[in-house]
Chain A
Amino acid sequence: MASDEVKLLGAWPSPYVLRARIALNIKRVNYEFLEEKFGTKSDLLLKSNPVHKKIPVLIHGENPIAESLIIVQYIDEFWASGPQILPSDPYNRAVARFWAAYIDDKWYPNARAILMADEGEAKKAALQGAIEGLNLLEDAFLKCSNGGKFFGGDKIGYLDIALGGFLGWIRVIERMGDVTLIGNCPNLLKWGENFAGDDSVKDVLPETEKLFEVAKFIVAKTKASAKH
C-alpha cells in the first residue's frame, strides 16, 4: 500500500464511523471505505485493531488508528492545513474534549438504555438521564457556539462531530421509544438541521428510515440474547 493511502474500516449505521467520515470530508481527504459485514469481523479489522476489535479503524498507509474521537483528532492534526476541527485555544479544546467524553461515557449509554431497558422504572430513569444530558448539551451549545450555527461557531468542529455522529440514532430512539429528546431543546433541534445539511455531512449521514430498520433488528437481537 502506498504510504499515503487512506482506508476506513467501518459500517454505515455506526455513529462512531460517521464521525470519522465527517472529519475526512471536512479535510477533503480521499479514502476507501471498507464496509464490515454485520456480525462478522474481517481479518483486516482483527489485524488493525487487535486490542478492541472494533470499528472504526482508520488505516493511513501502514498505520492503523482506532477509537473514533482519537481518529478525528488524528485527522485534524495530520491534515493540519485543512479547516480546523479542534478549537485553536487550549481552554476551548479542553471544553470540547470534556463534552465529547461526556457524550460517550454518560449521555449515549443513557439514551441507548431507553431502547434496551424493559418498560417501567429502568426506562423512565434512562429517559430522565438522557433528557437532563441534552439540557446540559443545549447549555453547552449556547456557550460554545458564540452565536454561530455550530458548537464550533461558524463551521463544524469537534463537538459537532462528537454529538452529530449520534443525530440519526437520536431520531431513531425518539421514534422507537416513543419519547421526545432533542425535540425539547430548540437550539439543539436547529443545530441538528444545520448539521445534517452541511456539505461534509449530508452525503454520509444515514437515512433515519434505514437506521430505524437496523435498530429494530439490533434491539430484538439484544433483548433475545439477554433472556438466555
Chain B
Amino acid sequence: MADGVVLLDTYFSMFGMRARLALAEKGIEYEYKEENLGDKSPILLEMNPVHKKIPVLIHNGKPVCESLIIVQYIDEVWKDNNSPSLLPSDPYQKAQARFWADFVDKKVYDAGRRLWTTKGDELETAKKDFIEALKLLEAELGKKPYFGGENFGFVDVALVTYSSWFYAYETCGNFSVAEHCPKLMEWVKRCMEKESVSKSLADPKKVYDFVLFLRKKHGLE
C-alpha cells in the first residue's frame, strides 16, 4: 500500500466517488473503509471532528477532508506517477478548473438534492435549476473530449460522479438528462469507457434503490 493510504467513504456518495476516482487515476493502492452514516465509526469522528462527514483520506495517519481538497491533495502528492495531472499547470487554466468544480458543488448538488426531496412546484423549480446548471456545464465542455481538454481532468472528476445519480434524479423528477444535454451524456459515456471511472462510480440502479429507501425513511414516498 502506498505509504498507508486509507479512505473512509460510503458506496453511494458522489463526493466519496471523487476520491476513489482520483486514487484510481493515479493507480494508488489503499484500504477502503465503508462507513455506516447512521452509526459513525470512532475513526471517522476522530479524523473529521468538524464535519463528521465522508470522504476522509487518511495518509500516513493524517486526515484530509472535503472531496475536492482530497482530489487536489492526491494530484499534488502523487504528481510524478506516470499519470497526467488532474489540474492543468497553467495558472489561468487551473483557476478555470477550480471555478467549474466549485460551480458543480454550488449549483448541481443543491438542485440535485431538491429533485429527490421535494414535490410539486418545488420539484419543478429544482428540475429547472438542475437542467440550467447542466446546460452551462455542457457549454463549458464545448467540443472538447473532456473538461480537461485532451485529458481527463479535475472538472471531469468533480462532475462525472454525479452521473451515477442521474437515473435517480430523472426518475424522481420525470425528465431525461439526455434530452436536454445530449453532448453532456456523450461525455458521460466517454468517461465511463475509462476503467478508473467505471470501477469508481456506484451503479445507477443501486443508487435509485438507495434514494427510494431514503425517501421512504423521510416520509416522501
Contact B92 A101 (CB under 8 A): no
Contact A98 B66 (CB under 8 A): yes
Contact A51 B72 (CB under 8 A): no
CB contacts (< 8 Å) of A66 on chain B: these are: 99
Contact B73 A67 (CB under 8 A): no
A94 to B65 Cα, complex, angstroms: 8
CB contacts (< 8 Å) of B66 on chain A: these are: 97-98, 101
Does residue A70 face the partner (Cβ distance < 8 Å to B)? yes
Contact B73 A94 (CB under 8 A): yes
Contact A65 B69 (CB under 8 A): no
**Interface of chain B: mostly helix, strand, loop or mixed:** helix
B81 to chain A, nearest CB (A): 14
CB contacts (< 8 Å) of B69 on chain A: these are: 94, 97-98, 101
Interface centre among A51, A67, A94 (most CB of B within 10 A): A94
| B-to-A contact residues, CB < 8 Å | 50, 59, 62, 64-66, 69-70, 72-73, 76-77, 91-92, 94-96, 98-99, 102-103, 136
Which A residue's beta carbon lies closest to that of B70?
Answer: A94
Does residue A108 face the partner (Cβ distance < 8 Å to B)? no
Can you list 15 A-B pairs with a CB-CB distance of less than 8 A?
A51-B103, A63-B92, A66-B99, A73-B98, A78-B92, A91-B59, A91-B62, A93-B76, A94-B64, A94-B69, A94-B73, A97-B66, A97-B72, A98-B69, A102-B50
CB contacts (< 8 Å) of B70 on chain A: these are: 94
Which B residue's beta carbon lies closest to that of A99?
Answer: B50
A60 to B93 Cα, complex, angstroms: 13
Does residue A90 face the partner (Cβ distance < 8 Å to B)? yes
B95 to chain A, nearest CB (A): 4
A27 to B69 Cα, complex, angstroms: 24
